[in-house]
Amino acid sequence: MPRIFALWLSLLFSLFFSNAVLAQERLVDMDGVSFSIQMIQATANDKSLPPMARVLWLPSEYGVLPQERAIAEQLAKKGIESWFVDFYEAMFLSPTSSAVDEIDPLWTAELIELARADKTLPVWIVAPNKAAQIAVRGLQSIQQTATQNLGLILINPNLYLQTPQPGQVADYWPQSANVDLPITLIQAELSPWKWRLNELNQQLNQAGSDVFTQVIPKVRDRFYFRLDALAVENRQAKQLAKYIQQAMRLQLVYLAKPRTVKALKSTSAKPKKETKSVQLNLYKGQQNLPLKAQGLDGNYFDLKDYAGQVVLVNFWASWCPPCVHEMPSMARLKTHYAGQDVEILAVNLGEEKTQVESFLTEHPVNFPVLLDDDASAVKAWKVFAYPSSYLIDKPGQIRFALFGATEWDDIAHIQKIDALLAE
């Protein structure tokens, strides 16, 4: 408890020191595989003293990032030690989404136990993006016995078995519902996943986890390491160490509680290999989805009023580069079908009207743009990725769907629309 109190004081006052950051390397063997643990030592206190806390960074599908090491160096000045391990290097694999699935949960469990060798030392697992999957899978064996002084911080977490197809219900890794820890979700605001936070909260809470949410305003997923980062994203990236400290401070009072979970029943759930497509695919989700939203002119648009027409419903945002890229081809598609029973309804994700108007001044379009202020349409249509598009026939049935950008005046799309017009 004295150590936790000292950590609380450090996090509360957030005093920066000029001490040089020290790094060490530790080699460990796990089931015959050698791993190198890179340690960034705490420098805020007397170097003869142990750290006040330890952070175990799990590598996402983007690998061990220099931006995360920079954050760790900031944490080191608060008395917090950080560990990094590159699973991919040990497996001779490049960091990719599919490589995440190859990481043995027993490696993660052993690494967590090494970090927790001193049971009085508060330890936090920080897992960005798909590293959240690595974390929840590795925690299963650890939490079969009482666990204390362990917290979890998930940054823009992806706990889906795969990105759901348009209109489909999301399937989570079953291990995500079988963790009992204090958990903080740090989520970028400009993301379709922001609108799934309540659903994710409920998933993580099933085994008793105390779940907290922190939304970072005006930034996109991966904001702290994007090559196309906006000025606001660069500013927020510099604050991420502080956001992590805030998450730690909030969790401190929950660390002492002994927590266990029951062994998860064997499951055959496995991620499916995702394939990117730029073509419309047959839609298999729910039909008769509601869409009634206000346009930029103040009038309301109701999808029901378009019976007898072929309608392309497109969900987009001005901060989404693929959305912006495909808009000119949508305008060309609209021009191609001028005077025919074809309409495009572009539904904007929760941006302010002035933002959308400013964007359209630079990128004019020839079809209605609708405002989904409360994300009611995004939720009803189960939109998990941007852009997402749905092609609806004249009786009002969704026939085809696509998530991701495409060239809408491609001959394959025109042939599908022509076929629906001819029915």
What whole-number distance in Å separates Cα of residue 352 and Cα of residue 368?
Answer: 16
Give pTM, 2 decimals: 0.87
Mean pLDDT of 197-206: 94
Quick check: 26 pLDDT over 50?
yes
What whole-number distance in Å separates Cα of residue 51 and Cα of residue 4?
Answer: 11
pLDDT at 2: 53
pLDDT single digits (tens) 234-277: 999 999 999 999 999 999 999 999 999 998 887 656 666 555 67
Quick check: 79 pLDDT over 60?
yes
pLDDT single digits (tens) 80-99: 999 999 999 999 999 999 99
How many percent of the chain have pLDDT more than 70? 91
Among candidates 187, 246, 193, 184, which has minimal Cα distance to 219?
187
pLDDT single digits (tens) 291-333: 999 999 899 999 999 999 999 999 999 988 899 999 999 999 9
Residue 53 neighbours by CB distance under 10 Å: 28
What whole-number distance in Å separates Cα of residue 75 and Cα of residue 244?
Answer: 9
What whole-number distance in Å separates Cα of residue 184 and Cα of residue 248?
Answer: 9
Mean pLDDT of 175-183: 96
pLDDT at 43: 82
Among candidates 194, 152, 159, 165, which has minimal Cα distance to 177?
159
pLDDT at 14: 46
Give the containing element (helix H, strand E) for 67: helix 66-76
pLDDT single digits (tens) 141-161: 999 999 999 999 999 999 998
What whole-number distance in Å separates Cα of residue 260 and Cα of residue 138?
Answer: 14
3-state secondary structure 342-398: EEEEEEEECCCHHHHHHHHHHCCCCCCEEEECCCHHHHHCCCCCCCEEEEECCCCCE
* Chain center to CA of 65: 17
Report the number of secondary-structure helices (H) and strands (E) in the chain. Answer: 13, 16
pLDDT at 106: 94
382 CB-near residues (< 8 Å, 6+ apart):
164, 166, 167, 168, 169, 170, 285, 286
* Chain center to CA of 243: 16
Among candidates 314, 334, 280, 304, which has minimal Cα distance to 397?
304
pLDDT single digits (tens) 375-416: 889 889 988 888 999 999 999 999 999 988 999 999 999 999
Residue 422 DSSP one-character state: H
Dmax (CA) for the chain in angstroms is 80
pLDDT at 13: 44
- Asked if 390 and 401 touch (Cβ cutoff 8 Å), the reply is yes
What's the token pair of residue 386? 């941007």
What whole-number distance in Å separates Cα of residue 306 and Cα of residue 341?
Answer: 9
pLDDT at 47: 59
pLDDT at 272: 62
What whole-number distance in Å separates Cα of residue 309 and Cα of residue 421?
Answer: 8
Ordered by where they begin, the domains of the chain are: 2-254 (3.40.50.1820), 281-422 (3.40.30.10)
pLDDT single digits (tens) 88-141: 999 999 999 999 999 999 999 999 999 999 989 999 999 999 999 999 999 999
pLDDT single digits (tens) 329-384: 999 999 999 999 999 999 998 888 999 999 999 999 999 999 998 888 988 998 88
- Higher-pLDDT residue of 214 and 50 is 214
pLDDT at 10: 53
- Asked if 10 and 44 touch (Cβ cutoff 8 Å), the reply is yes
In degrees and rounded to multiples of 5, residue 115 shows phi and psi of -65, -25
- Name the β-bridge partners of 150: 123
Instruction: Compute the mean pLDDT over every residue in the chain, rounded to the nearest whole number.
Output: 90
pLDDT at 17: 41
- Name the β-bridge partners of 185: 154, 213
